[in-house]
Amino acid sequence: MAVPLTYYLALSAALFAIGVIGVLIRRNVIVVFMCIELMLNSVNLTLVAFSAFLGDIAGQALVFFVMAVAAAEAAVGLAIVIALYRNKQTVNFDDINILKW
Amino acid sequence: MAYDLVPLAVFLPLAGFLINGLLGRTIKREGLIGAIGSATVGAGFLIGVATLLELLGAPADQRTRIVEVMPWISAGDLSANFAYQVDQLSVVMLLIVTGVGFLIHVYAIGYMHGDPGFWRFFAYLNLFIFAMLNLVMADNFLLLFLGWEGVGLCSYLLIGFWYDRKFEKGTTADAAKKAFIVNRIGDFGFLIGMFLIFSTFGSLRFQAVFAQAAGFEAGAPVLLAITLALFVGATGKSAQIPLFVWLPDAMAGPTPVSALIHAATMVTAGVYMVARCSILYALAPTALMVVAIVGGATALFAATIGLVQNDIKKVLAYSTISQLGYMFLALGVGAFSAGIFHVMTHAFFKALLFLGAGAVIHAMHEEQDIQRMGGLKKHLPITYRTFVLAALAIAGIFPFAGFFSKDEILWRTFSSGHGVLWAMGLVGAFLTAFYMFRLVVLTFEGESRWAQGQHPHEAPSTMTVPLIILAILSVGGGVVGIPPSLGGGNALEHWLEPVFRPALDKLAGGMHEDHVLEYVLMAVSLGVALSGIWLARLWYLRNKEIPGTVAARLPRLYRLLWNKYSVDEAYDMVVVTPLLKGSEKLLWKAVDVGVIDWAVNATGRVVAWFGRAARLLHTGFTATYILVFLFGVVAVIGWLLAQ
Amino acid sequence: MTAEPLLFLFLAAFAVTTAVLMIIQRNPVMSAISLIGNFFCLAALYLMLRAQLLAVLQIAVYAGAIMVLVVFVIMLLNLGDEIKLPVRFGFRRTVGVVLGFGLLLELTYLLLFTPETAEHEMLHADAPLIGTVEAMGTALYSQYLFPLQLTGLLLLAAVVGAVILAKRRLP
């Protein structure tokens, strides 16, 4: 007996929702950042699952690019965190409201 | 050939305006600024002369040419281009405007010496010439209107040139505004006339309109409406009853302005326009009659006010109004070329009178009250002599220029059967001679009445040379219009005849030639003028108590004249005050504050209220934005599922 | 073949547990370690889906490069401090959790009521073939060549941006 596609999708949905909740309840910017990585990975899982079940390589190729973008995002995002910490002495989400201006 | 240079004559002053207006402050050197200003106008005069010679060489029926410069407005049926109509009439006007204009520019170099606004003054003068040339050279009504408005604007700018100086009850800026607003009333009439022309003839080009108009029956109501509306414009620009009130106040500007704009050129725009539209007026006999009556009434009316004025420029201003009345009288009785002839001679001697007055004012250090002058002929010999020549010309003494033009007008008025108007003109002529020599006597003769410390001196040569040239023209300018009865050829009338031919054909009849009667009338008007001069010398030079006695004997008449028939006050009471009060109480306090401001503020308040509400969403915390975003995602997916 | 569903259930449970642990741990280092565990789970799931290359990359890029970078930054900034902050579970966080669960509910609803088809039951017959390094390499360097080049450019830009953002401002 094989594992049906729905199982993979359900797992993916669960991981995505956890990631969303994590983004909303955590205040450490780096943890928020990790939650976003989790959400990206849940989507990757969906793509790989569809790719395998449909026999289409496009899904896996897209995952490859998502990984590359995630790497780029990680580099720039963490650099921003460092710059922010240097200026504000904090990485607390709740203390950063400079978007108001 | 020379035709093609006509646009250059028009646009050179514009170039002068741009150079002096934009760079004048940096150029600083008065000589250079004055030279640019004068040269651009002088070049226009030379082109005018060349064009005139070329026209003289052409056969009489090939003297009208259109010179296209560039397209201007084209919308549907309406098209108006920068195109100039060169013909006998416009070339005469071109010569008058640029010729007299050039002399006045040169004079202004001396007169405005040392004024901090020297460059500005020349820029405005050049802009004025540009506008005026568009007015007289245009081949369509719209371009004419551009010039018409342009001279109005320049008039405003130049009357208010010394905008911080006191003038009568306010400042010169008030006089400038008065001129502009009164002109606007006339312009409104002109605009209505232009709209009517376009809706009737479907074109604004002179040739197209006039060709179609010739097919209309005389007395057509639409033509009457058009001509009357245009004439309202003419009364505004040419200071006729009832819109003459701005011209006396226009004397607030520097004297060369008074000479150029308010005597020699701009005010003749109305005369030119009516003459240009002669065919339209010929087909509307009622309008022609109105023109004649307004002209005759203005000629007499303004002359009576001129009798008692003490400001040297005011006297001249009223005499200008009066002389313009003669021109309209001529047009009204169908003597179009006589009207243009008087425009020309008047340009010479009135420019001369104003420039002479300017020299006097210059010498007396801005004193303008003739009761505090006197005995100046020793100190200002050139000014005195030229001024007297001009006064003789305007009084209509043989053989000065004014005699021929004025006599022609009176003769044509009489011979076309308008006896009452002729009588009015004759009385006006007597009064003209009287007040002009009152002015001459009080200013230049008798003993001096000015303070001892002053030392009047003759003006510099840039001012006196134009005076002398204008004096020569005032004396000899009449040769182009000597009537056949005096052995002349009346060259100007023959020259202009093709332009007015269609109109004269419509007016056919009435012009009976009777040389004996003409000689009698000539003698009468000459006699009247001489008696006016004699009376003025008697009252103001020999028996100086007479004027006082007369004034005391007729106190009400004197006060009426002294107050200029209280026209200004009446306008204030009937028009200005109700307008101001109505604007303040109704339009400002009720409509503007109560409705418009309220609506505007309410709009602002609503937006501010929404802003306050929307601002709550913008906390600046990224987490809040994500929350709102998530809410949106959940809602949209939920909505899709619910479908 | 009953081992496969069991393996899946084990991995799924492990993945969800590590994910939950990641968001409830108050120490960021512990969160990072949980996430790394999660990534290993996902790599294993990729293998179950016959995606060999992605499984390797998942470990090398995510668990290896990205998470090391994250842990490095946490250490660099000495961020253990969230522990000391008072626990404030305010309105915003409540709403956030509710909405998160709402999203989960909606997705579950969607999965439950989508009609099943035969191809959703079994892996595609080609699945073992397309996940190989060879197949992926062929696709990336032919069909997806242009996006691949662009990705290279993106990474270069990211490197330059990261250096500029993170470097100390010179006086």
Query: What is residue B618's three-state secondary structure?
Result: coil
Helices assigned H by DSSP within B260-335? 269-276, 278-282, 285-306, 312-332
pLDDT at site C13: 94
> Is B554 near chain C, with CB under 8 Å?
no
Q: What is the mean pLDDT of chain A?
A: 88
> Is B625 near chain A, with CB under 8 Å?
yes
Q: Å from C88 to nearest chain B CA?
A: 14
d(CA A50, CA B182): 85
Decide if B109 contacts B34 (C-beta within 8 A). yes
- Residue B476 CA, chain-centre distance (Å), reads 24
- For A20-79, the pLDDT digits (tens) are 999 988 888 888 999 999 999 999 999 999 999 988 899 999 999 999 999 999 999 999
pLDDT band of B513, cuts 50, 70, 90: low
> Is B641 near chain C, with CB under 8 Å?
yes
| Residue ranges per structural domain of chain A | 27-91
Virtual torsion, Cα B534, B535, B538, B540, nearest 10 deg = -120
My answer on whether C1 and C77 are in the same domain is yes
Out of C35, C53, C135, whose CB is closest to A38? C35
d(CA B326, CA B330): 6
Q: Which residue of C has its CA nearest to B628?
A: C96
DSSP of B523-554, one letter per residue? HHHHHHHHHHHHHHHIIIII-THHHHHHHHHS
d(CA B37, CA B23): 13
Which residues have C-beta within 8 Å of that of residue A45, sequence separation ≥ 6?
A8, A11, A12, A15, C42, C45, C46
- Partners of B621 on chain A (C-beta within 8 Å) are 93-94, 96-97, 99
User: What average pLDDT does range B324-352 have in this prediction?
Assistant: 92
Pairwise CB contact (< 8 Å): A97 & B621: yes
What proportion of chain B, given as a percentage, has pLDDT over 70? Answer: 99
- For B57-82, the pLDDT digits (tens) are 888 778 888 888 888 888 888 888 89
| Other chains touching B, judged by 3 or more CB pairs under 8 Å | A, C
Dihedral sign of CA atoms C97, C101, C106, C108 in order? positive
Q: Which residue of C has its CA nearest to B625?
A: C92
Q: Is residue C96 part of a domain?
A: no
**What 8-state DSSP symbol labels residue A3?**
P
Out of C99, C106, C109, whose CB is closest to B631? C99
- For B300-313, the pLDDT digits (tens) are 999 999 888 888 99
- Partners of C100 on chain B (C-beta within 8 Å) are 630
| A:C CB pairs within 8 Å | 243
With tokens 């003698």, the residue in question is: B523
**What 8-state DSSP symbol labels residue B62?**
G
My answer on whether C68 and C138 are in the same domain is no
Pairwise CB contact (< 8 Å): C102 & B638: yes
**C-alpha angle with apex C25: C24 to C29, nearest 5 degrees?**
145
Q: Which of C69, C123, C167 to mutate to test the interface with A (most CBs of A within 10 A)?
A: C123
- Which of A45, A37, A68 lies closest to C140 in space, CA to CA? A68
Taking the alpha carbons at both ends of chain B, their separation in whole angstroms is: 84
d(CA B511, CA B454): 56
Q: Which residue of C has its CA nearest to A33?
A: C70
Pairwise CB contact (< 8 Å): A23 & B626: yes
- Partners of C48 on chain A (C-beta within 8 Å) are 3
pLDDT at site C154: 94
Decide if B422 contacts B414 (C-beta within 8 A). yes
Instruction: Give the CA distances from residue B499 to residues B85, B92, B334, B408, in Å, rounded to whole numbers and listed in that order.
Output: 12, 12, 13, 19
- For B565-594, the pLDDT digits (tens) are 888 888 888 888 888 888 888 888 888 888
- Residue B565 CA, chain-centre distance (Å), reads 23
pLDDT at site B512: 58
* Structure-model confidence comparison of residues C115 and C132, the more confident one: C132
Element (H, E) at B253: none
For the cut 90, the answer to whether the pLDDT of residue A11 exceeds it is: yes
Q: What is the mean pLDDT of chain C?
A: 86
Q: Å from C78 to nearest chain A CA?
A: 11
Q: Is residue C151 part of a domain?
A: yes
Phi, psi of B154 (to 5 degrees): -65, -35
pLDDT at site A28: 84
Query: What is residue B83's three-state secondary structure?
Result: strand
Q: Which residue of B has its CA nearest to A26?
A: B623
Out of C92, C96, C106, whose CB is closest to B641? C106
For the cut 60, the answer to whether the pLDDT of residue C1 exceeds it is: no
For the cut 90, the answer to whether the pLDDT of residue C112 exceeds it is: no
Q: In terms of CATH architecture, what is A27-91?
A: Orthogonal Bundle (1.10)
Pairwise CB contact (< 8 Å): B630 & A20: yes
Domain hosting residue C3, numbered range: 1-81
User: What average pLDDT does range C125-131 have in this prediction?
Assistant: 84
Q: Residue B526 burial (CB < 10 Å; 0-12/13-18/19+)?
A: middle
pLDDT band of A19, cuts 50, 70, 90: very high
- For C38-51, the pLDDT digits (tens) are 999 999 999 999 89
For the cut 80, the answer to whether the pLDDT of residue B511 exceeds it is: no
* Structure-model confidence comparison of residues A18 and B114, the more confident one: A18
> Is A20 near chain B, with CB under 8 Å?
yes
Q: Which of C93, C94, C103 to mutate to test the interface with B (most CBs of B within 10 A)?
A: C103
Q: Which residue of C has its CA nearest to A51?
A: C127
d(CA C82, CA C86): 8
**What 8-state DSSP symbol labels residue B219?**
T
Out of B627, B633, B638, whose CB is closest to C96? B627
Task: Retrieve residue B205's tokens.
Answer: 């080009």
> Is C102 near chain B, with CB under 8 Å?
yes
Strand-strand pairing, B170-171 and B166-167: antiparallel
- Partners of B634 on chain C (C-beta within 8 Å) are 99, 102-103, 106
For the cut 70, the answer to whether the pLDDT of residue A6 exceeds it is: yes
Q: Lowest-confidence range among B195-199, B607-611, C66-70, C78-82?
A: C78-82
- Which of B429, B424, B423 lies closest to B402 in space, CA to CA? B429
Q: Å from C81 to nearest chain B CA?
A: 20
With tokens 């005849």, the residue in question is: B497
Pairwise CB contact (< 8 Å): C162 & A79: yes
Q: What is the mean pLDDT of chain B?
A: 88
Q: Which amino acid is at B482?
A: I
- Partners of B623 on chain C (C-beta within 8 Å) are 92, 96
- For C69-109, the pLDDT digits (tens) are 888 888 888 765 555 555 666 788 888 889 999 999 988 88
* Structure-model confidence comparison of residues A8 and A87, the more confident one: A8
pLDDT at site C84: 59
Q: Which residue of B has its CA nearest to A25?
A: B623
d(CA B618, CA B388): 85
Pairwise CB contact (< 8 Å): B634 & C95: no
Q: Å from C89 to nearest chain B CA?
A: 14
Pairwise CB contact (< 8 Å): B621 & A93: yes
The number of folded domains in chain C is 2
With tokens 């900034």, the residue in question is: C77
- For B348-376, the pLDDT digits (tens) are 999 999 999 988 988 888 888 888 888 88
CB burial readout C135-146, b (16+ within 10 A) else e = bbeebbeeebee
pLDDT band of B292, cuts 50, 70, 90: very high
pLDDT at site A20: 92
pLDDT at site B509: 58
Pairwise CB contact (< 8 Å): A97 & B625: no
**C-alpha angle with apex A28: A22 to A34, nearest 5 degrees?**
50
pLDDT at site A48: 94
pLDDT at site C94: 87
Q: Is residue C17 part of a domain?
A: yes
- Partners of B630 on chain C (C-beta within 8 Å) are 96, 99-100, 103
Which A residues 55-94 touch B at CB under 8 Å? 93-94
Helices B172-201 + B221-237 axis angle, to 10 = 160
pLDDT at site B476: 87
- For B19-55, the pLDDT digits (tens) are 999 998 888 888 899 999 999 999 999 999 999 988 8
- Partners of B618 on chain A (C-beta within 8 Å) are 99-100
pLDDT at site B187: 92
> Is B630 near chain C, with CB under 8 Å?
yes
Decide if B449 contacts B479 (C-beta within 8 A). no
> Is B624 near chain C, with CB under 8 Å?
yes
- For B220-264, the pLDDT digits (tens) are 889 999 999 999 999 999 999 888 889 988 888 899 998 888 777
> Is B642 near chain A, with CB under 8 Å?
no
- Partners of B622 on chain A (C-beta within 8 Å) are 93, 96, 99
> Is C117 near chain A, with CB under 8 Å?
no
For the cut 60, the answer to whether the pLDDT of residue B102 exceeds it is: yes
Q: Å from C91 to nearest chain B CA?
A: 11
- Partners of A48 on chain C (C-beta within 8 Å) are 45-46, 49, 51, 54
The CATH number for C75's domain is 1.20.120.1200
Taken as a whole, chain C contains a residue count of: 171
Out of B623, B627, B637, whose CB is closest to C106? B637
